[in-house]
C-alpha cells in the first residue's frame, strides 16, 4: 500500500510516524512546502522571546531522520493537483512537475494566516507567523526596530506581543473586539490577562480594528477605524488562520462551513482520501455540531485515529472541547469548553461563577492567587472553565476537560476527591471551591 | 437544636463551621484536648523544615474567632463519658467534671499515634508527632541533637526525616517493610523517592524494624531485628495512627475492623450520634469494602455531608480512593487508588505500566523527568496511578482520581483531550503516554 501525505505539519508528520509504528511495509511519502518538518509551531513565540535559545532547538526531527524510518519526506514542494479518479497527485519540485500515484491520500494541508483585506498589507515590515521561516524573518526585522504593532489579541497575538517586548521593542497590540483572547475567555477573565500584559509593558487597544497601513516601501503608520493612527516599525498580523482547501475541493471532498468534512474515522467524502488538522472540521463535544479545532494536540490525536483507519483498524476520533493553555511570562492561563457568550449564542442559559483561590495553603510561602471561572448549563452540567494563575493551571484544565467529557454536573464534581498537601494545593481545591460556589446558584 | 462535637481537628472544626453556614441558630459546642483548633497538622513537617516560619502561621483561626461565629470552643478538655440514652456527655475542664446534654453528638475523636510495644519507648527523646505541641517539643529537643532516627517510612516519616535534615541533623529512617511509602506506592516508584531521600542526606534502612530502645533517662541506642544497633539523640515514631474509639464504644456505636462504622450520611449505628475523620471507616470506591482514609481532605469533605445530615438535608459521602500528594524538597509525589500489591491481595490481576515522560516540551528549558505508573484491572479499568516529578504532579493525580471515580478504562482515557503548551506540558501529555502504553498490554 502506498500512502501519500500532503503537509508536513503536526497532522501530516504524526500520521506518517503512527502509520510506520503500525506497519513496517506501507510505502509512506510526505510532501511539504516547508524546509522543515517535525517542529512545534506553538514554540515559535518562545524562541522569539528568548526562552528557547534557537529555532533549531524546536526542530525535533529532520527529513533524514524520517528516511531512517523508511518515510520519504519531500520538502519545498507544492502539490498542485489531485485526481481522485486516477488516484494521482501532481507536485512541483525544483521547478518541474511530477506525478505520483496513491492508494490512500492524506490531506494535512493546514491553514494559511488570514490576511485582512486592507491597503498596505504588502508593505515590508508586515508579517504573519506560521512557520520557522516566518519566525526567522520577524527576528531579523525586529533587530532594526523600536516599535511593533500586533493586530489580533488571540493567543498567538499576545504570545508574540510578549515576545517582542522581551526583545526591547515598544509593543502595542490591537484587537477589533472589546477583550483579549475572546475565543477562550470571558471578558472579566480576559481583563486579568490584559492587566498582566500591560504590567509587562504592552499597550493594549481594544475595539480598535486596523483599517489600513501606510509607508514608503516599508510600513510606517497604521490607521484605526476611528481615524486615529499609530507610528510603528513593524506589524504582525495575528488575525487567525484560514484552512487551505484548494486540493480538497479539487479532489471533490465535501467542505463544510469552515473546512473539510470528515467522519470519526477521519475519512473525507471521497474514497481513499483522508484529512486531518487545521484543514478539517471537528465535532463539538457539547452541542454535537461541527466546529474547528486549530490545536496541535487535536492534529496529533487525529493522526492516531487516521493511521489506524488507513490500515482498517477500529478507531474513532472523539468530539472536541478545544482545551487550551498558555504561559506568558509568569502567568499561566487555560480554558476549555464554552465561554459565557458562546453558550448564550447557542441558546444555552449559562450559570456562571468566578472564584478567587490560592495555589497553595494560605499559610504556605508563595501561594499565588488563582482565578477560576466555571460555566454550567441550566441543569448544572459543566460546559466551560477558565483558569488564570502563576502556577498549576494546565492540569486543572485537564481535570475539567475530563469532567466535561464525562458530562459531570457541578454537584457531581463537588463530591469528587482531590489530593492535598500544603505546598501544592488548598485543602479544598480551587476547582472544588468553584463548583461548590456555582452549585449554590441552582 | 444543640450539637456537641468531640474533637477539634479538621473533621470536628469543619463540621462546626459548615453547620454554622447552614443554620445561624443551632447551638454548637466543640470540645478538644488540644490548646489549638483549626490548624493543619499536615503542615507541621514544613514548619520543622523551616519552609514555614512558625507554628503560629499554620493556625488559621483561634477559639475566639469561633466565638464570633457563635461557636463555643472548649479547649484542653477531656471528654470522659457519653450516655447515649440520656444524650449527655461528661468532660473534665480545669480539673472538674462537667456534664452537657446534646441533641446531636459528633464524634471527631481522630486517632492517636500508634506506639510500637517495645522497651524504651518511654525514654526522653522519643516522640510521636500529632499536634502542634508535639511539633514544638521536637523542635526544641532537636536543638541539642546531632542525630535522629525516624521509624516508619510512610508519608509522615519521610516528611519529618527531610525536615530534620534541614535542621542540620544526621538523619536515619528505618522501615519494617522493604520499601518507603508502602501504602501508596509500588516498590519501583518508592525507590525513586528513596534515592531522592538519600541524595538529600537521609540514610534509609529497609526491612529493618526497631525492636528496642535503650538509654540512660534519654534515648541513646536503637536496636534492630537483626541485632545491629544505631546511636541516636532522638527517635520519632512515625508508625501510623490508631483511631480513638473509646467514646464510640461507650456510646454503643458499631465498630468495624478498624474504626467506627458510619453510613453515607455519616450516622453511626446509635441514633443522633454522628462520626467523621480519622476515627471512622469509609467505603473503598473500587471494591466497595470498608477501608480507612486518614486524610485531612476526607475529614473536610465528610464534614460537609455531616453538617447537612444533621439538619436533615440530603447529602451522601462518596466512597474514597485515598488520593494523596506531598512535596519533599523539590520532589512532588502523589498517588491514588490501588498499588500493584494491594490489587493482587484483593484478587485483582493488575495490568501495570510505568513510563518516563517530561513535564514540558522536550526542547523547553527545565523540562523535568516525570515518572508515571498506571495500574489497571484485567478489563483495562484504571484502578491506580502513581506520579513522581519536580512539578505538576498534584493536579495530574486529581485527573486520575476523576478518571477512576468515573470508571474509565485506559482506552477511554487515551481518547480524552489534554491541553498543551510547550512551557507546561508535552504535546502528548505524560498521562496519555502512560495510558496508551498500558493499553498495548491488552
Distance (Å, whole) CA A404 – CA A397: 10
The pLDDT of residue B369: 97
Please report, for chain A, how many H helices and E strands are present, in that order: 12, 25
- Which residues between 161 and 220 in chain B have a beta carbon less than 8 angstroms from any beta carbon of chain A? none
3-class DSSP state for residue A37? coil
Interface predicted TM-score (ipTM) over 0.90: yes
Q: What is the mean pLDDT of residues B201-228?
A: 96
Enumerate the H helices of A49-154 as residue ranges.
63-68, 132-142
Nearest CA to B12 out of B80, B74, B64, B54 is that of B74
- Closest-CA distance, B222 to chain A, in angstroms, reads 31
Q: Which residues of B touch A295 (CB under 8 A)?
A: 420
Put simply, the chain A residues between 225 and 244 with a CB less than 8 A from any chain B CB are none
Mutation target among A36, A65, A358, A398 for the B interface, most CBs of B within 10 A: A398
Active site residue B42: yes
Q: What is the C-alpha to C-alpha distance for residues A237 and A118, in angstroms, rounded to an integer?
A: 12
What are A72's strand-pairing partners?
A: A29
Candidate from A51, A297, A393 with C-beta closest to B420: A297
| A334·B406 Cβ contact <8 A | no
Say whether A399 and B395 touch across the interface (CB within 8 A).
yes
* Interface contact flag, B424 A300, Cβ < 8 Å: no
**Which residue among B57, B334, B416 sits closest to A402, beta carbon to beta carbon?**
B416
Which among B40, B397, B403 has CB closest to A427?
A: B40
Nearest residue, CB atoms, B325 vs list A51, A362, A419: A419
Helix (H) or strand (E) holding B155: helix B155-166
Under a CB-based contact definition with an 8 Å cutoff, are residues B125 and B34 in contact? no
CA of B278 vs chain A CAs: smallest distance (Å): 16
Rounded Cα gap, residues A244 and A249, in angstroms: 10
CB contact under 8 A, B421 and A297: no
Does the beta-carbon distance from B392 to A394 stay under 8 Å? Answer: yes
- Rounded to 5 degrees, φ, ψ at B428 are -100, 110
In sequence order, the β-bridge partners of residue B104 are B3
Cell representation of residue A177: 473586539
Task: Annotate B305-344 with three-state secondary structure.
Answer: HHHHHHCCCCCCCCCECCCEEEEECCEEEEEEECCHHHHH
Closest residue in A to B406 (Cα) is A406
Please report residues of B whose CB lies closer than 8 A to that of A364: 43, 46, 51-52
Which residues 326-345 on chain A approach chain B with CB closer than 8 angstroms? Answer: 326-327, 332, 334, 336
Q: Please name the residues between 388 and 407 in chain B that touch chain A, using a CB distance below 8 Å.
A: 392-399, 401-403, 405-406
pLDDT recorded at residue A39: 86
How many Cβ contacts (< 8 angstroms) between chains A and B? 198
Distant-in-sequence, close-in-space partners of B319: CB < 8 Å, separation ≥ 6: B282, B283, B284, B285, B288
Write out residues 13-52 of B within 8 Å (CB-CB) of A: 40, 42-43, 46, 51-52
Q: Tell me how close the Cα of B139 comes to any Cα of chain A, in angstroms.
A: 19
Report the pLDDT averaged over residues B63-79. Answer: 96
Task: Please give the C-alpha separations between residue B224 and each of A58, A75, B118, B229, B230, in angstroms, as whole numbers.
Answer: 54, 68, 11, 6, 8
Separation CA A116–CA A331 (nearest Å): 30
- pLDDT truncated to tens, each residue of chain A (442 aa)? 999 999 999 999 999 999 999 999 999 999 999 999 888 889 999 999 999 999 999 999 999 999 999 999 999 999 999 999 999 999 999 999 999 999 999 999 999 999 999 999 999 999 999 999 999 999 999 999 999 999 999 999 999 999 999 999 999 999 999 999 999 999 999 999 999 999 999 999 999 999 999 999 999 999 998 999 999 999 999 999 999 999 999 999 999 999 999 999 999 999 999 999 999 999 999 999 999 999 999 999 999 999 999 999 999 999 999 999 999 999 999 999 999 999 999 999 999 999 999 999 999 999 999 999 999 999 999 999 999 999 999 999 999 999 999 999 999 999 999 999 999 999 999 999 999 999 999 9
For the stretch B313-339, pLDDT in tens is: 999 999 999 999 999 999 999 999 999
Residues 263-322 of A with CB under 8 A from B: 295-298, 300-301, 316, 318, 320-322
Contact B17, B68 (CB under 8 A): no
Cell representation of residue A93: 519540485
Say if the Cβ atoms of A402 and B399 lie within 8 Å: yes
Q: How many Å apart are CA B236 and CA A376, to the nearest integer? A: 49
Amino acid at each position: 500500500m502506498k500512502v501519500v501525505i500532503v503537509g508536513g505539519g503536526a497532522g501530516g508528520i504524526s500520521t506518517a510516524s503512527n502509520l510506520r509504528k503500525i506497519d513496517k511495509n506501507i510505502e509512506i511519502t510526505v510532501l511539504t512546502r516547508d524546509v522543515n518538518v517535525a517542529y512545534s509551531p506553538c514554540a515559535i513565540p518562545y524562541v522569539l522571546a528568548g526562552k528557547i535559545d534557537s529555532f533549531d532547538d524546536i526542530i525535533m526531527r529532520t527529513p533524514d531522520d524520517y528516511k531512517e524510518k523508511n518515510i520519504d519526506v519531500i520538502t519545498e514542494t507544492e502539490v498542485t493537483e489531485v485526481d481522485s479518479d486516477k488516484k494521482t497527485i501532481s507536485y512541483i519540485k525544483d521547478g518541474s512537475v511530477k506525478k505520483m500515484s496513491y492508494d490512500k491520500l492524506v490531506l494535512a494541508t493546514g491553514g494559511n494566516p488570514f490576511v485582512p483585506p486592507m491597503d498596505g498589507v504588502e508593505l515590508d515590515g508586515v508579517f504573519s507567523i506560521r512557520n520557522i521561516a516566518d519566525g526567522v524573518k520577524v527576528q531579523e526585522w525586529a533587530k532594526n526596530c523600536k516599535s511593533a504593532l500586533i493586530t489580533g489579541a488571540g493567543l498567538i497575538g499576545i504570545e508574540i506581543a510578549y515576545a517582542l517586548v522581551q526583545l526591547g521593542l515598544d509593543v502595542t497590540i490591537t484587537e477589533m473586539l472589546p477583550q483579549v483572547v475572546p475565543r477562550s475567555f470571558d471578558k472579566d477573565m480576559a481583563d486579568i490577562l490584559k492587566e498582566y500584559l500591560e504590567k509587562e509593558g504592552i499597550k493594549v487597544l481594544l475595539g480598535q480594528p486596523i483599517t489600513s497601513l501606510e509607508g514608503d516601501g516599508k510600513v510606517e503608520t497604521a490607521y484605526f477605524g476611528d481615524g486615529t493612527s499609530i507610528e510603528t516599525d513593524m506589524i504582525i498580523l495575528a488575525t487567525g488562520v484560514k484552512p487551505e482547501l484548494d486540493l480538497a475541493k479539487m479532489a471533490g471532498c465535501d467542505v463544510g462551513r469552515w473546512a473539510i468534512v470528515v467522519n470519526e474515522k477521519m475519512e473525507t467524502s471521497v474514497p481513499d482520501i483522508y484529512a486531518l488538522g487545521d484543514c478539517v472540521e471537528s465535532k463539538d463535544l457539547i452541542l454535537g455540531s461541527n466546529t474547528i479545532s486549530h490545536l496541535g494536540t487535536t492534529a496529533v490525536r487525529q493522526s492516531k485515529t487516521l493511521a489506524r483507519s488507513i490500515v482498517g483498524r477500529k478507531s474513532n476520533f472523539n468530539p472536541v472541547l478545544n482545551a487550551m493553555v498558555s504561559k506568558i511570562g509568569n502567568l499561566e492561563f487555560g480554558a476549555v469548553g464554552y465561554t459565557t457568550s458562546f453558550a448564550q449564542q447557542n441558546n444555552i442559559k449559562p450559570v456562571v461563577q468566578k472564584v478567587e483561590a490560592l495555589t497553595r495553603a494560605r499559610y504556605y510561602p508563595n501561594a499565588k492567587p488563582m482565578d477560576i471561572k466555571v460555566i454550567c448549563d441550566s441543569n448544572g452540567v459543566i460546559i466551560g472553565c477558565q483558569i488564570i494563575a502563576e502556577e498549576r493551571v494546565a492540569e486543572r484544565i485537564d481535570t475539567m476537560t475530563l469532567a466535561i467529557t464525562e458530562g459531570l454536573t457541578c454537584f457531581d464534581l463537588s463530591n469528587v476527591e482531590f489530593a492535598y498537601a500544603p505546598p501544592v494545593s488548598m485543602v479544598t481545591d480551587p476547582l472544588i471551591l468553584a463548583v461548590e460556589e456555582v452549585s449554590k446558584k441552582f
